[in-house]
Chains A and B, each alone.
Chain A
Amino acid sequence: MKNVLEDIIEPPVDRKIANRNMNDRVQDIPGWGMDADPDNDPTYPMKHSTGADHERLNYVKAPQQRQNIEVLRSIERPNITRVFGTSTPPAGLSGAIRRYAYKFSEATATHWMTLILADRVDVIQGKLNDLKHGIFPNPWIERGWRAEWKHNRPAFLGRMAVTTLVITAGILLITRKSRGKKMLANS
């Protein structure tokens, strides 16, 4: 693999460099810090700046939650969080796609679009899984058609009628075509 600048950084460096600058360098920079004004903090009151920012990652952390499932991790952080969700670990084909997506940073479209792709694949996986457990799709409940029937009947029926029409027309068209082909084949 190509050598990239990322590979030569060995964290933690940020505060080391900042502290070195503050200790040795800034006195030689004319006017350093002269106009600093802690009250000019546009993040207040959303954020009560306490300087904790400059502790970087050296804070008291909770014990690490035991990891007995697969947790995907953003490559923009060094480790998994001390506490994490255990809902629906990656599985099957969608899981493989997700693992690939997590090779890319949150700044890339590849990361997010690949995850969306995984989500769509997951839906199919979910359907197959349901069937395996004898659960059939039930749009009346799952898609909330019951609610449409109750509160939006005319529009709902209209939409259903159009959908049915389009599907029937499609089926007719396909069967007609294949019947035509069959006739040709027979003649």
Chain B
Amino acid sequence: MLAMNFRGPYQIRPDRNRPMPEIEHPYDAIVRVTRSLVCGSDLHLYHGLVPDTRVGMTFGHEFTGIVEEIGSGVQNLEVGDHVLVPFNIACGTCPFCKQELYGNCHEANSEATAVGGFFGYAHTGGGYDGGQAEYVRVPYADVSPIKIPEGMDIEDAVLLTDVVPTGYQAAEQAGIQKGDTVVVFGAGPIGIMAARCAWFFGAGRVIIIDHIDYRLEFAKKYSYCEAYNFKEMNDPVVFVKKLTDWYGADVCIDAVGCEAVGHGLQDITGRMLLQAGSGTALHWAVNSLKKGGILSIIGVYGPPWNLAPIGSIMNKGITVRANQASVKRLLPKLIDHVMSGRLNPKGIISHRIPLEEVSDAYRMFSKKLDNIIKPLLIPPRAFAA
């Protein structure tokens, strides 16, 4: 079958000779992929920043597909079902799953206890091949995957596997109160969605900060928010303070993660792997908050450590809330937002690219070429679906 094949940092091959996945556990299903997406999280793998990313792996944790085969223990799915598959692999019965922390399952990742199980996310994510392929093995098939609701556009469905729930959770865990001023760092798909979703919780002002103008322009319209370029600021923290009448933001959302740019020392130490990427966005967010404010971290950081201003978190009484999105928990609510027309996920897809050109998609997304926001991959035989 055709699938992406990781060959090393910045090197990816569309490979027609990948072995077909097989049922390896009674709770497995094999899914024929109909759509998949490339995510900002995939870029951390692409750039060689995630430890234990092995050559030969297939990435991809955002996909929809048709069930081709099920294991003997699968009860909720049938062959032929068109499903959306949340990016978290979750057993459904461990205490974490039982408390709806589906991104933190205890039975899906042998390699790292700090990390849940994810499709196509290195061995640090459990060593599962992902969905940037024609076929994919879906473990615990009864737990997370759901049939795409009648009448839902497949492009909306595939965005419900990660971007929408992640953006939504970024806003939800920020504990936004009616009238709050919310500052979102990062105008990638996740930041754009977080800014959009902040309104669901009654935000009074939503401000997004990035350094890429086309993304800021897009966010302004899509997320109904104020948008500012930090390259035009002397100091983003002073800017936010002034923008909030020298008070500080009620809530800051870090939707950038470990590849933040904009601060020399952080950039250099990040690149030299003296820390797990750069902590610039964290730093700006903590310092931009009011005292007693809330920091919501949804951007991804690597395992060992980052330069973050713990002293200010302590002195200012900042509450930090962070996690991988728990997709399954949020789906019912988000499906309702989409089906009722309040939310238009597919509006953020900027590029539709054949799976054969997956390496171009990564390069474009990594270098932010051609005004890219979010690239969708279409496997050869799925065009009609």
Contact = CB atoms under 8 A, between A and B. Distances in A.
Interface of A: 42, 45-50, 52-53, 55-57, 59-63, 65-66, 71-74, 76-77, 80-88, 90, 94, 98, 101-102, 106, 109, 111-113, 115-116, 118-120, 122-123, 125-127, 130, 137-139, 141-148, 150-152
B146 interface: no
21 contacts: A46-B101, A46-B323, A59-B95, A63-B73, A72-B111, A87-B54, A87-B123, A88-B56, A94-B54, A102-B111, A125-B55, A126-B7, A142-B7, A143-B10, A143-B363, A144-B359, A144-B364, A147-B359, A147-B364, A147-B369, A151-B369
Nearest to A119: B53
Contacts of B301: none
A81 B366 CA distance: 33
A101 B51 CA distance: 11
Contacts of A113: 51, 273, 304
B139 interface: yes
A41 to B, nearest CB: 11
B179 interface: no
Interface in B186-239: none
Contact of A48 (B100, B128, B304): B100
B25 A106 contact: no
B57 interface: yes
A46 B173 CA distance: 7
Contacts of A59: 93-95, 98
B129 interface: yes
Interface string B231-272: 000000000000000000000000000000000000000000
A47 B99 contact: yes
B107 interface: yes
Contacts of B101: 46-47
B367 interface: yes
A94 B8 CA distance: 13
Nearest to B142: A62
* Residue with the highest number of chain A CB atoms closer than 10 Å, among B58, B108, B139, B363: B363
A100 to B, nearest CB: 13
Interface in B298-321: 302-304, 319, 321
A46 B7 contact: no
Interface in B336-385: 357, 359-364, 366-367, 369-370
Contact of B98 (A52, A86, A143): A52
Contacts of A143: 10-11, 359, 363
B80 interface: no
B363 to A, nearest CB: 2
